[in-house]
């Protein structure tokens, strides 16, 4: 690991901060040859106050990342980020692309130099290095981008657009491949046992639906232009535990498209998908909804004497979801749009820090988490 520099001085206003970000971005210098292939890399770095771990997926010019930050006296924090990278290796990552830029700098597959916007008035220079593959499962990223015209004889025909990403284990075997087939989106995997064909089958299924439901002669067709985009994010890749999410966006007509995010947690050591029953003690499952509701009320500033319904949710009681993820920051539960609230609410992620889960996790699972948590504790 490479240590990065101490914190920068605070700034008086965001205008000064924005100007400095631009200057610093221009002056970042590196002599590396910048790679343009798709890949997954886990970058790590630390200083006396913080430890950083960045799970990054590069797919063409798109970047998907999970940033983990641990300070000495605080619990770990996790940020889901998206961004872009150019041919020179200059990149940005933000919580909502450029609307809230968090990282800006330059990267290769082996190292990353960037300025991190720690808060509204402070920048930190980060110099991170790719972690040895001995400490995590080596992964590859495959991408597929295709378009299909509704009327192939018409150059101005509307099109269906498919953009997909897929995680592959670098060290392949049949059992491991079968776990990664869980990335399939409503595809009958009995039609193909080859992980390499999964994206093609997804694209084919999408285009088949487009051809069946749309026709120039059918004036009642839902829409002429269809879009489907899938992206992959990694939250955890340590101690033979892998947590990742497939984020899908689809527009097939109507007032708006629909995005969903599905999480998968894999036990690479025992070659199985983990369920809540593998993580929590049996009696703990009934205690989780109360913890979720407490955190939800804090996130939406709902007082204890107000019902969830009065705040716009579908029910007053929050049920546990099987759509969960693992990270050094805790265990998260993800509710997609329409599951517990209207579309206008967006998605509802709820993270329960490990400090709230004391005594609720299975001992054998805790023993695997301890080294992960210790790896994020900065040392003087």
Phi, psi of 305 (to 5 degrees): -90, 5
CATH of the domain at 29: 2.40.128
Bridge partners (DSSP) of residue 50 are 71
User: What is the C-alpha to C-alpha distance for residues 102 and 82, in angstroms, rounded to an integer?
Assistant: 10
SS3 367: helix
Same domain assignment for residues 269 and 280 = no
What is the reported pLDDT for 8? 47
Distance (Å, whole) CA 243 – CA 264: 6
Residue 377: the pLDDT is 66
Total length of the chain: 380
Instruction: Dig out the tokens for 243 from the structure.
Output: 């947590």
Same domain, 238 and 158: yes
Distances in Å between the alpha carbon of 137 and those of 51, 170, 237? 21, 8, 6
The C-alpha angle 190, 196, 199, rounded to 5 degrees, equals 80
Q: Token pair for residue 229?
A: 């985009």
> Using H for helix, E for strand and C for coil, what is the string for 189-233?
HHHCCCHHHHHHHHHHHHHHHHHHHCCCCCCCCCCCCEEEEEEEE
Q: Domain limits at 86?
A: 2-131
Q: Cβ(130)–Cβ(111) under 8 Å?
A: yes
Quote the CA–CA distance of 343 and 99 in Å, as a whole number. Answer: 21
pLDDT computed for residue 190 by the predictor: 62
Domain shared by 33 and 48, yes or no: yes
* Residues whose CB is less than 8 angstroms from the CB of residue 222 and which lie 6 or more positions away in sequence, other chains included: 213, 214, 252, 253, 254
Contacts within 8 Å (CB) and 24+ apart, 13-17? 14/120, 14/121, 17/117, 17/120, 17/121, 17/123
Query: Do residue 124 and residue 151 come from a single domain?
Result: no
Q: Kindly give the residue spans of alpha helices, DSSP state H, lying in the chain.
A: 14-27, 174-180, 198-213, 276-279, 288-300, 363-374
**Is the domain of 69 the same as that of 126?**
yes
pLDDT tens string, the chain, 380 residues long: the values are: 334 444 444 445 545 555 555 554 444 433 333 334 899 999 999 877 889 999 999 998 999 999 999 888 788 889 999 999 999 999 999 986 556 888 999 999 999 999 998 777 778 888 999 999 888 999 999 999 999 988 888 888 889 999 999 999 999 888 898 899 988 766 565 666 688 888 998 999 999 988 887 665 654 555 688 999 999 999 999 999 999 999 999 998 878 899 999 999 999 999 999 999 999 999 999 999 999 999 999 999 999 999 999 999 999 999 999 999 999 999 999 999 999 999 889 999 999 999 999 999 999 999 998 888 877 765 54
Q: Confirm whether 96 is domain-assigned.
A: yes
Examine the fold and report which residue of 131, 148, 163 is the final residue of a domain before the chain moves on. 131
pTM, two decimals, is: 0.86
Structure tokens at 316: 């007053």
In a domain, 379, yes or no: no
Domain count, the chain: 3
In angstroms, the CA 151 to CA 69 distance is: 50
Q: What is the predicted pLDDT for the residue at 373? A: 81
Residues 108 and 155 in one domain: no
Q: Note the pLDDT of residue 248.
A: 94
Q: How many Å apart are CA 146 and CA 229, to the nearest integer?
A: 11
Distance of CA 98 to the CA centre of its chain: 17
Q: Are residues 148 and 265 in the same domain?
A: yes
Q: Which of 131, 160, 175 is the last residue of a domain?
A: 131
Domain boundary among 257, 273, 289: 273
CATH number at residue 236: 3.30.565.40
Closest Cα partner for 159 from 223, 254, 212?
223
Residues 68, 328: contact at Cβ < 8 Å? Answer: yes
Largest Cα separation within the chain, whole Å, is 71
pLDDT at 3: 40
Helix (H) or strand (E) holding 140: strand 139-149
88 and 148 belong to one structural domain: no
CATH of residue 317's domain is 3.90.640.20
In-domain check, residue 380 = no
Nearest to 226 by CA among 241, 242, 205: 205
Co-location of 151 and 178 in the same domain: yes
Q: Are residues 42 and 95 in the same domain?
A: yes
């Amino acid at each position: 690991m490479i240590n990065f520099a101490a914190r920068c001085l605070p700034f008086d206003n965001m205008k000064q901060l924005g100007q400095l970000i631009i200057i610093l971005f221009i002056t970042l210098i590196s002599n590396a040859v910048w790679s343009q292939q798709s890949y997954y890399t886990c970058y790590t770095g630390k200083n006396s106050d913080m430890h950083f771990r960045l799970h990054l997926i590069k797919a063409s010019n798109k970047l998907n990342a999970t940033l983990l930050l641990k300070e000495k006296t605080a619990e770990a924090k996790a940020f889901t980020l998206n961004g872009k990278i150019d041919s020179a290796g200059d990149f940005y990552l933000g919580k909502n692309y450029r609307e809230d830029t968090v990282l800006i700098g330059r990267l290769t597959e082996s190292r990353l130099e960037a300025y991190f916007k720690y808060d509204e008035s402070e920048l930190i220079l980060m110099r991170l290095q790719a972690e040895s593959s001995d400490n995590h499962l080596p992964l590859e990223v495959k991408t597929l981008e295709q378009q299909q015209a509704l009327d192939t004889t018409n150059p101005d025909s509307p099109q269906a657009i498919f953009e997909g990403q897929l995680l592959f284990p670098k060290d392949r075997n049949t059992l491991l491949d079968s776990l990664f087939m869980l990335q399939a989106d409503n595809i009958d995997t009995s039609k193909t046992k080859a992980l390499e064909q999964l994206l093609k089958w997804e694209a084919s299924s999408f285009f088949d639906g487009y051809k069946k439901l749309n026709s120039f002669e059918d004036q009642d067709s839902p829409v002429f232009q269809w879009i489907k985009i899938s992206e992959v994010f990694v939250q955890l890749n340590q101690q033979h535990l892998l947590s990742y999410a497939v984020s899908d966006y689809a527009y097939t007509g109507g007032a708006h498209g629909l995005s969903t995010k599905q999480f998968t947690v894999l036990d690479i050591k025992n070659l199985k998908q983990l369920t809540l029953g593998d993580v929590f003690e049996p009696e703990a499952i009934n205690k989780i909804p109360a913890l979720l509701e407490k955190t939800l009320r804090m996130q939406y500033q709902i007082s204890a004497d107000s019902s969830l319904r009065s705040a716009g949710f579908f029910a007053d009681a929050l049920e546990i979801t099987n759509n969960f993820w693992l990270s050094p920051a805790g265990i998260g539960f993800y509710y997609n749009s329409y599951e517990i609230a209207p579309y206008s609410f967006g998605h509802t992620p709820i993270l329960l820090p490990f400090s709230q889960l004391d005594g609720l996790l299975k001992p054998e699972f805790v023993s695997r988490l301890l080294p992960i948590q210790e790896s994020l504790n900065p040392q003087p």
